[in-house]
């Protein structure tokens, strides 16, 4: 399947978090594949704008600005917000209030949402577990909690308002894997871009969750909705296995759980739960 748009498809997409590493990569790829883009971030766009794209600085907490940016768009690709663990107060505004503004804007615009969720929404599952997408949410941080909230917001807006959404539980999205953990969790930029494009093209979407990982043989993550949108990863961390297999931490909490180092951050238990 081509990553581009199909004849007759609507093509206008709002991309939040456009100035970040993943956002700017997606802006370039989606523009190349023929999608019309409205880009936004709280920071200036770091590169020359892709052909035909327009950019506006906006805060996710500014409901009117987000509503105006989404007007006329057929989808919102939401990669904005706090992207790692911070104090609860720092996460609260963009990742909780801002996420509400995204779904409200999508409802008003009759737009689909592709939400950058995270493996940290389920981070306290042990690495010995193989998980399907409908597994119990076990956030490992305030950041992971905000991603679990985002997935539940998607369910609310689907059942109450009919807003379509795809939550992509991103593993470790980097140009290449760098630790043994990433042999399970790595998501290549190419696979991520193809996943988002497939989510934009798909016609049979309700409220879906997809594991954001490449075709890694060591993955912990199994059944999800990828067949519904016609996406399958093409890259794999397996080629890096020999070089990375010994690159582990000395932290038993980090090495026990799928969320890795964020599980051990501010961890105060004297022993793990049964």
Q: Active site residue: 142, 143, 149, 157, which one?
A: 143
Please name which of 54, 55, 59, 71 lies closest in space to residue 106, comparing C-alpha atoms: 71
Residue 31 Cα distances to 28, 106, 109, 143, 148, angstroms: 5, 21, 21, 29, 29
Beta strand pairing status for 172-173 and 207-212? unpaired
Beta strand pairing status for 36-41 and 207-212? unpaired
The DSSP H or E segment spanning 100 is helix 98-109
Beta-carbon contacts of 75 under 8 Å, excluding residues fewer than 6 positions away, are 12, 13, 14, 111, 112, 113, 114, 200
3-state class (DSSP) for residue 81? coil
Q: Does the annotation mark 157 as catalytic? A: no
Beta-carbon contacts of 36 under 8 Å, excluding residues fewer than 6 positions away, are 11, 12, 13, 52, 53
Please name which of 166, 175, 204 lies closest in space to residue 75, comparing C-alpha atoms: 166
Catalytic residues: 143
């Amino acid at each position: 399947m081509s990553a581009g748009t199909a004849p007759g498809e609507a093509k206008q997409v709002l991309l939040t978090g456009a100035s970040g590493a993943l956002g700017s990569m997606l802006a370039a790829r989606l523009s190349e594949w023929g999608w019309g883009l409205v880009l936004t971030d709280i920071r200036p766009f770091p590169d020359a704008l892709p052909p035909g794209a327009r950019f506006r600085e906006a805060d996710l907490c500014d409901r009117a600005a987000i509503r105006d940016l989404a007007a006329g768009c057929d989808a919102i690709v939401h990669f904005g917000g706090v992207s790692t663990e911070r104090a609860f107060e720092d996460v609260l505004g963009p990742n909780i209030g801002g996420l509400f503004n995204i779904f409200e804007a999508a409802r008003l615009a009759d737009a689909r949402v592709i939400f950058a969720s995270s493996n940290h929404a389920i981070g306290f599952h042990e690495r010995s577990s193989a998980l399907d997408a409908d597994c119990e949410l076990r956030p490992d941080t305030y950041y992971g909690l905000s991603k679990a909230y985002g997935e539940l917001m998607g369910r609310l807006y689907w059942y109450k308002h009919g807003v379509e959404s795809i939550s992509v539980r991103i593993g470790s999205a980097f140009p290449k894997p760098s630790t043994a953990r990433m042999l399970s969790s790595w998501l290549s930029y190419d696979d991520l871009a193809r996943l988002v494009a497939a989510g934009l093209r798909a016609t049979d979407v309700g409220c879906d969750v997809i594991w954001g990982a490449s075709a890694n043989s060591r993955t912990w993550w199994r059944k999800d909705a990828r067949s519904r949108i016609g996406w399958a990863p093409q890259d794999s961390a397996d080629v890096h296995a020999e070089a990375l297999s010994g690159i582990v931490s000395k932290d038993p909490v980090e090495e026990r759980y799928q969320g890795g180092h964020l599980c051990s951050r501010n961890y105060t238990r004297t022993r793990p739960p049964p």
